[in-house]
Amino acid sequence: MLSDENLERYARQAIMPDIGEEGQERLLESRMLVVGAGGLGSPAIFYLAAAGVGNLTIMDGETIDLTNLNRQILHTTASIGSPKVKQAAATVRALNPGITVTPLDERLEDDNVEALLAAHDVVVDCSDNVDTRYRLGDAAHRTGTPLVFGGAVRTEGQLSVFHSGAGADEDSPCYRCVFPDMPDAMQAPGCSEAGILGPVTGVIGTMQALAAVRLVLGIGGKQTGKLQLFDGRYGSFMEISTSRRADCACCGA
């Protein structure tokens, strides 16, 4: 049962018929891992905390740089040089002191990824490098953890939800089904090489938060089996259907 304070804080959500007090309680009991506290992670973390995700783990091993501030809205000029997770946790606690925030000032590696995913209900991939993305994708399949993937560069963004492996639909694709080959730096340049328009990360990161909340609440129907593409130059969206690959290196036969 929600406390009086939580009834007031989350009133605009709990009043909705498809959320209610029961849905808000599920959010408060949920455990989410956000990998990356940068351009995508900033809006995702903000909205997950504001929505009342009760247990939020933030993982990032980098420090804040001046070049981050056109898009990484968790951070400030005064926090340049500080660990991103330290500033992210402080911002989240100021916004919503009623939730538990766990900052992890480290990188995702083979020796910690499965334990981390197994301890959370949903993982939100806001990382900025292909090694982390594939490591998360493979581990999410092995642990059966729902994975909310987002990516952004220049004026373009991508969003997809993956839930394969134990407890998922048999035909649900994993990350490697959609992205079978790890791209090189020329094929997938980072923001430091290609550039990024800040509001594009805001759009995709916010959509990641929405997808993660929908997963916990079980509203809006099936989210897997599609890849959404956002063109910030024209403000348009396109959706591509995705499917499981029999020859997938991760989940195929």
Domain that holds residue 126: 4-241
At 227-249, the pLDDT tens digits run 999 999 999 999 999 999 999 99
The pTM of this model reads 0.96
Asked if residue 253 is part of any domain, the answer here is no
CATH number where 219 lies: 3.40.50.720
Q: Which parts of the chain register pLDDT below 50?
A: none
- What are the distances in angstroms from CA 133 to CA 10, 90, 182? 33, 26, 9
Asked if residue 247 is part of any domain, the answer here is no
Asked if residue 246 is part of any domain, the answer here is no
At 182-210, the pLDDT tens digits run 877 566 677 767 889 999 999 999 999 99
Nearest Cα to Cα of residue 203 among 235, 248, 170: 235
Q: Which residues, in sequence order, are CB contacts of 169 under 8 Å at separation 6+?
A: 163, 224
> For the chain, how many structural domains are there in total?
1
